[in-house]
Structure 1
Amino acid sequence: MLRKIDCNIWVAEQPFRFLGLDIGIRMTVISLKNDELAVISPIKIDHKIIEQFKEIGNVKHIIAPNLFHHLFLSDFKNIYPQAQIYAVSGLKKKRPDISIDKILDDDEQYFGSKLEYFLFEGLNTFLLNGLSPLNEYVFFHGESKTLIVTDIVFNFDESFPFTTKLVSKILGVYKQLKPSFLERLGTKEKEKVRQSVQKILQRDFRRVIMAHGTIVEDDAKQKFKKGYECFLEKKF
């Protein structure tokens, strides 16, 4: 079900397993002008969510914010053929089967003043097939003072299964709003990361919504800053 978080912003969550871990997955929905809805990191939806969408607006923008959150783009497009798919550079090569309408670009403002976005540069992660760039866009919804991210931070807590909690402690993301050890280890362009973090900290946000983990509602800006302090210290 869609759950209202604040004025003109909702989320929906569902179970999701990655490498055998239950990490959950979350999409964020923003109401823009003229009741247009932007869906960030879409999940698989059912009839209940479809009915809720009808109540709050019209799905016009389907957004893949990085190279990994693309599984349900085509499903959304089939349900909402009038909507446009926005994706990061590189996804078209990775998923040529998906009909991408627009590539996210810092020089364009597709969503107007209600939803800012910009590229988080420099962050990489280790996967089974080696090092991979996240190539992630982050979003700032000024009306609700919410920062919306996907995989640049995690925040697992006691609400997750035992194995997920154990692994998140090993990776340094248990009850901490920060990138995992894999991102910190895999990232070489630390100056680009530092500049991206500074750009985020210029925004007046009090909440962070991420794709995997528990939403941070209190003191989110300071927690985000602390999570990236190893990049902000500029000792590299």
Structure 2
Amino acid sequence: MTDVTYRPLDTPKPVADDVWIVDSGPHWLAGMPLPVRMTVLRLSNGGLVLHSPTRFTPDLKQALEALGAVAHLVAPNTAHWSYMVDWQKRYPSVASWAAPGLSRRPAVSASGLRIDHDLAGGAPQAWRDEIECIVVRGTGLTEVALFHRPSRTLVLTDLVVNVEPEKLPFPLAIGARLVGSTAPNGRAPIYARLAMRTGGDEAASAARRLVALKPDRVIFAHGKWFESNGGQRLREALSWLTR
């Protein structure tokens, strides 16, 4: 079977100062395997922000604790939250943050996920000097992007999807091409674009704000992230929403 993931899995990989990614998966969506990724940001006080937590393993927990104290768990959009329940069980006193609207989803209530705060008001005080939060609101899909100012790293979830077709099983590769989410010029799949476009001027303005940040790199949950020339590649990837 084709390996859709980016090995090594479930281990922090350095990206920039105080920024790591954790590749995991496959994550199964409607019977289809996808690579999935968590981003770890370390604050100046040593605390770690786990953005879109992936599956929990004891070895990963140990590796993260060697980098700093896990201080914040973030469910950054209304589709990325299911793995966070396991992390809450291991870190019951750590603050959990979520995209606006996530707490109203019936599946979230049934899962036992605890949401301490939502990010509707932007970055919390504990991050504000280091991480900017930009909310992109759609219908059925809302995402909170994090911009790590010290490293100029933008962290997304599904606003960009850039899967490599050669890593996917044949039917999934065809489907990814059809929805416009294949490397090297991937973008959000068409159903996500439709959901975000319902956000109108507010969503478009938020997307333009992301582009204006001109990040050095852009990390997202699925596929080959933008390791360089992040600002230009982001401009192209979000052109469907910024026009």
TM band (smaller chain): 0.7 to 0.9
Amino acid at match of 1:46: T
Q: Which residue of structure 2 aligns with residue 119 of structure 1?
A: 135
Pick one of 131, 138, 156 that aligns with 1:149: 156
What's the C-alpha RMSD, in Å, of the aligned pairs?
Answer: 1.7
**Secondary structure at 2:182's aligned position in 1?**
coil
Equivalence for 1:50: 61
After TM superposition, give the deviation of residue 107 of structure 1 in Å: 4.9
Q: 1:1-47 deviations in whole A, cap 9, x for unaligned?
A: 11111110111121111112221111111100221000010111212
Within-5 A mapping of 1:1-236: 1-14=11-24, 15-94=26-105, 95-96=108-109, 97-110=112-125, 111-121=127-137, 123-124=138-139, 133-157=140-164, 158-175=166-183, 176-186=185-195, 187-233=197-243
Residue 153 of structure 1 and its aligned partner are, at CA, apart by 1.3
Aligned partner of 1:140: which letter? F
Identity of aligned residues (%): 24
Deviation at 1:75, TM superposition (A): 1.0
Closer, same or farther in 2 for the Cα pair 1:232/1:34, shift >3 Å?
closer
- The alpha carbon displacement at 1:108 in A equals 5.0
**Number of paired residues?**
224
Query: Would you say the 8 A contact 2:153–2:218 is kept in 1?
Result: yes
The 2-side partners of 1:107 and 1:185 are apart by 24
Q: CA deviation at 1:150?
A: 0.7
Alpha-carbon shift at residue 69 of structure 1 (Å): 1.2
Structure 2 unmatched runs, 5+: 1-10
Q: Which runs of 5+ in 1 are unaligned?
A: 125-132
Q: Is the 8 A contact 1:178 1:224 kept in 2?
A: no
Aligned residue for 1:38, secondary structure, equals strand
Judging changes above 3 Å, is the alpha-carbon distance between structure 1 residues 168 and 195 closer, same or farther for their aligned structure 2 residues?
same
